[in-house]
Amino acid sequence: MKKDIHPPIAKKVPKKLVAHNDVRIDNYFWLNDRDNPDVIDYLNAENAYTKHKMKHTEQFQQDLFEEMKARIKEDDESVPYKLNGYWYITKYETGKDYPIYTRKKEVLEAQEEVLFDCNEMAKGFAYFKLGGIAISSDNTLAVFSVDTVSRRQYTLQVKNLVTGKVYPDKIENTTGSATWANDNKTIFYTRKDEVTLRSHKIFKHKLHSNVEDEEVFYEADETFNTFVYKTKSNKYIVIGSASTLTSEYRFVNADTPDQEFKVFQERIRELDYAIAHYDDSFYIITNADGATNFKVLKTNETQTEKIFWEDVLPHRAHVLIEDIEIFNDYLVVSERENGLNNIRIMSWDGKEDYYLPFDSETYTASTGNNPDFNSEFLRYSYNSLTNPSSVIDYYFKTKEKVVKKEQEVLGGQFNKENYSSKRVWATARDGVKVPISMVYKKDLELNGETPLLLYAYGSYGSTIDPYFSTIRLSLLDRGFIYAIAHIRGGEYLGRDWYENGKLLTKMNTFYDFIDCSKFLISEGYTSNKHLYAYGGSAGGLLMGAIINLNPELYNGVLSAVPFVDVVTTMLDDTIPLTTGEYDEWGNPNNEEYYNYMKSYSPYDNVEAKAYPNMLVTTGLHDSQVQYWEPAKWVAKLRDLKTDQNLLLFHIDMDAGHGGASGRFESLKEVALEYAFLLDLEGIANK
């Protein structure tokens, strides 16, 4: 029997951090230097320790990986969509990790033209990601982007689709998206700040020109990011600039890209709006004039200031407007009411106004790729916790639904009739009802012995809808309940649901998750010996907060790329994303916000007490949450925790925030996470 090894102990190098006359001592601040060999040695030691402690599950991890991979259709392709005379298709081939982008001219029977084979492009790279692809108006050129580090800093290049030649010019450090003017030679793109990675400048590039790229817009406000795109009508190039609460747009005719951009509506603090162009008008989704859940307005393209905006769809207190899709004869509105997605069809002549019918409380529906105003159908997607994803074409005139594709679950074991899903409501400590979506095998006995994995995110107004997952079946088939807590901080129950889970109400996010956990235990779905929690990024912050507040509720916790050193990060405006986050978390240079975020910041509130079993994951090149946040957190937990429970830290030394880039490589981390959970339940050999 091999001797057990001790967990790595990070050295302490006390650093005094002072703000508002408050002193914090950070013993592990030194870990934020990835060029320091001692840091790399420590991270490698953590990986070695995790590998050692999980060694007895290695075969099980491999089995889980193969099981999850076997459910995925390897030779797969997307439903084609038509744009400017070509059908575009993304496909995968058996045994290959990366997508292949193709197109066919006019008819689907035409010869296939391979635009990009990412399997060839990825050779020689530990990480590879193809970002945006934009096709010129004459269909002969494509501007594309590549990231081979996983820092979300993309390099742009142009490919001649007639000759197959990739032009040698490279544009570094971009967001990965670019758009063509209608002259087929002018490209607009967004550059990032080298240090903070903030998207802050829009440039104009002239193909085959020795002229230096021209900066056409600089976003000076450090709390804003900027971006550029072309309208669906192809008439305008639009530059958007947005913070958490405020937005602003400017536009120029795509036929005359060298003219000055015109401001659509100057920014007003907390005026949030988005624009779409059709015919001679712009359509606006906005929270103007107290429309908390947004409303739809329109204005003539020559008079775009707010004073000219006219109502199309008024604000409703209990219905959140999330998006619109415009067609020649119809306006399609994506709404959310009582947490549920609705797709509303409204004819411009006023004769029709109805909703597509959905009959579940645990489903996700959203409009898909609809690039053509003249289309006779709306393309949308539908799935639920028990139903694989479908791509559906809905024909406006006949009201016929045609399922173009339903996700195949291979392996011969899956039957959706074998699973149950439902939505229940927990009562939070302030009396608010918090919804929980859950799924499990129909024959599962629900009691205190039932293992349950509770997932949540709860930040930025990002809503986690109940969605189908083939990967998740590996837990469900082994007796787990999987549940999603729709906590405040997301927009599941509207914009107010978000507003009451941010800034000085952020504690609601953590309390909601804890109260959902207590509800699931009290209702007999599970017990604290079999309850597990999972969250990533800002959801990793959630994990850190709940285990400081109520560690006794959970047997195990998965915390992926966790944002846990809130105060130090938010005080450092050189760290990517920091300044743009002030409207989400608060600016700690203000003492009130400093004290509030210090009260919940996981790293600042680690105590000498017992914590659950934990698996923490990160990527060395993460641009969203720097690797040193979880590294410091784990080091401090190791020093202070009083239990003998597992504390494992896995660092992907090649990847960033999204994990491994290959289609199947990412499953290996899921296999590790699932093996960790199942091993704690004593079912690591089934």
Query: How distant, in Å, are the alpha carbons of 324, 377, 381, 382 from that of 400?
Result: 21, 9, 15, 15
Within 10 A of 164 (CB to CB), how many other CB atoms are there? 10
For β-strands 129-135 and 141-147, DSSP reports them as: antiparallel
Query: How distant, in Å, are the alpha carbons of 175, 196, 535 from that of 227?
Result: 8, 16, 29
Active site residue 657: yes
Catalytic choice (315, 657, 661, 679): 657
Tokens representing 53?
Answer: 């402690």
Tokens 């079999």, residue located: 530
Within 10 A of 255 (CB to CB), how many other CB atoms are there? 14
Catalytic choice (393, 465, 622, 679): 622
DSSP assigned state of 643: S
Q: Taking Cα atoms as reference points, which of 680, 605, 608 lies closest to residue 646?
A: 680
Residue pair 531/612 in contact by the 8 Å Cβ criterion? no
Tokens representing 137?
Answer: 């108006």
CA distance 637 to 603: 9
DSSP assigned state of 558: E
Amino acid code (one letter) for 675: A
Tokens representing 338?
Answer: 């009582």
Tokens 């608060």, residue located: 586
Tokens 């489903």, residue located: 363
In sequence order, the 6+-apart residues with CB closer than 8 A to the CB of 251 are 236, 237, 238, 239, 261, 262, 264
Active site residue 621: no
CA distance 652 to 660: 8
Catalytic choice (247, 537, 601, 661): 537
Query: How distant, in Å, are the alpha carbons of 488, 545, 595, 629 from that of 598?
Result: 20, 11, 5, 15
In sequence order, the 6+-apart residues with CB closer than 8 A to the CB of 274 are 240, 247, 249, 284, 285, 286
In sequence order, the 6+-apart residues with CB closer than 8 A to the CB of 270 are 245, 246, 287
DSSP assigned state of 625: S
What is the Cβ-side half-sphere exposure of residue 226, based on CA atoms within 13 angstroms? Answer: 25
Active site residue 666: no
Helix/strand/coil for 414 = coil
Q: What residues act catalytically?
A: 537, 622, 657
